[in-house]
Amino acid sequence: MLLGQTFDMVLTSWSNLGVDPHDESFWRAENDVPGSGDNFVSYNNPELEALYAEARALPDCDQDDRTAIYRQIQALLYEDQPYCWLDVPRKLIAIGERVGGVSSGPWSVWHNVHEWYVQE
């Protein structure tokens, strides 16, 4: 029913979205395909898609430049409200004191997992 887009209302959740805040597959018009595709709410905003394209094309994926673009993206999603976000659960993640290099990121604690190490 969800991917077939045969609903009047649906309650769903997203989890394990990865370490990068680039979630364009949920919002691109080309992913509005009944039976498949992540854009099952049929959201379409060319301005938003242009911002995602700009973020993808940044040299070296510069985080400061990407941050400015993703803030614009979040502002558009907030304004358009393709979803009615009801709840954002808080998570408690515990990492042992021997694990170094951990820093919380803008999307999740896992953003720099490739830099983590275990201290003796």
Do 80 and 104 sit in the same domain of this protein? Answer: no
Query: pLDDT per residue over 64-79, tens digit each?
Result: 888 899 999 999 999 9
Q: Which residues make beta-bridge pairs with 36?
A: 33
Indicate if 68 and 107 belong to the same structural domain. no
- 34-69 pLDDT, tens digit each: 888 888 888 999 999 999 999 988 888 777 888 899
- Give CA–CA dist 74/59, Å, rounded: 22
> How many Å apart are CA 107 and CA 32, to the nearest integer?
25
Please indicate, yes or no, whether residues 110 and 62 belong to a single structural domain of this protein. Answer: no
**Statement to judge: residues 2 and 55 lie in one domain:** yes
Domain span at 24: 1-89
pTM summary value = 0.68
Cα of first residue to Cα of last residue in the chain, in angstroms, is 52
| φ, ψ (nearest 5 deg) of residue 117 | -150, 160
